[in-house]
Amino acid sequence: MRNNLLRSYQSDASRLKGKIKGVIHPKSINEIKTAVLKNPKITIRGAGTGLAGGAVPQGDVVLDLSKLKGVGKFDEKKKTIEAEAGVILDDLQDFLKKFGLEFPVKPSSHEVATIGGMIATNAIGNRGVKYGKTSNWVRWVDIIDSAGRLERKTITEMSDYVGMEGISGIIVRACLKLNNIRERSASIIRLKNLEEVEDVVRKLKRRQNVSMIEFLDKIVSKGIGFGEGYHLIVEYEGDEGSLKGSEYRKIIGMRDEVYPFVAGEGYTRIEDPKIMINKFPKLMRWLEARSIPTFGHIGVGILHPCFNTNQEKLIPDMIKLVKRLGGQVSGEHGIGILKRKFVEINDQKIIRNIKKRTDPLNKFNTGKII
């Protein structure tokens, strides 16, 4: 039984496998401090939903933060709440719903995504066109450093920890900013060609009441029953959309099921390049020529090309193209292990300097990003 448990922690949703010495399940911040002082190398794990190998151990101890589920001070008037790293987003939303509030960042893995994991990867999700990244909604984070000290980092210092995938310290608690729950509706827009997609997206992005613009290519559209052509799922704050109530909830639920559908067809390797909208047609034509199904948060330029086993050899070529087009290797999944060889030299230098300053003992998430 113990060996089976250890094996389950060798990997995350990336399907990469690492080597593990043991697993610790702290239930409090003090227990995390103790674990940090006792263990020379630690891999930090939330829900294990990462797609870049960020929670895959490299011969070290896994620190599973899933039991760190405390919710602290809630200020309904100021619209803030304190939450520990292991709090699941949907559980937090259920609590906030009673007060007409929500945390507005919504990754597709919202049913299992943890607050700590979202902060560590600076998650953006499908409402990024309106609400941006997780960091926009964090007032402060409490971290434990490599010496076991608990420190609070506010906006001026948070960049050393938010989006750093755990290599600089353990995020154990955060103060989150909240938003009023909005009435929402949606529409499905069918389009014939990629230039038309680009034009419509540009116009939608200018609209203040648009909170989501999701793209489905021809393969995905046909596969999930939308029919021929390209499709956009557009979410509006208000009742402008043609789909409301249960119809609205159904279409949003269908969007969350797109990757499980594609993966079920054998396209299990999902990437997350980020590209400017004017470069979108060039990248899409490259993907279409190779029959790579693609969907994504086109409102913020993030696409999700999905590759089967035979197509995975094409990923380096796609990344080279993304770079030539002025795009980014990763828009939301993080670098982890899978994409560290594609990090630009200047970015590597910046990240190494942050790592040396914040984790001089090289204790946390070694082998990730750099």
pLDDT confidence of residue 108: 87
- The SS3 assignment for 270 reads strand
Q: Is 92 exposed, middle or buried (0-12, 13-18, 19+ CB in 10 A)?
A: buried
Task: Enter the CATH code of domain 2-64.
Answer: 3.30.43.10
pLDDT of residue 6: 83
pTM for the structure as a whole: 0.93
Nearest-angstrom CA–CA distance, 180 and 312: 42
Residues (pLDDT < 70) of the chain are 1-4
Name residue 50's amino acid: G
Task: Return d(Cα 264, Cα 273) in angstroms, integer.
Answer: 22
**Structure tokens, 107:** 């990754």
Alpha-carbon dihedral of residues 287, 288, 292, 295, nearest 10 degrees?
Answer: 80
The pLDDT assigned to 2 comes to: 59
Taking the domains of the chain in order of start, what are their residue ranges? 2-64, 71-180, 184-324
Q: Which residue is associated with the tokens 């043991």?
A: 22
- For residue range 18-54, list pLDDT tens digits in order: 999 999 999 999 999 999 999 999 999 998 888 899 9
What pLDDT is attached to residue 1? 41
Is 61 strand, coil or helix? strand
- Please give the pLDDT value at position 203: 98
Q: What is the CB-side half-sphere exposure of residue 359 using CA atoms within 13 A?
A: 24
The confidence score (pLDDT) of residue 15 equals 86
Tell me which of 3.40.1360.10, 3.40.50.300, 3.30.565.60, 3.30.465.10 is the CATH number of domain 71-180: 3.30.465.10
Helix or strand run (H / E) with residue 237: strand 230-237
Tell me, what's the pLDDT at 138? 98
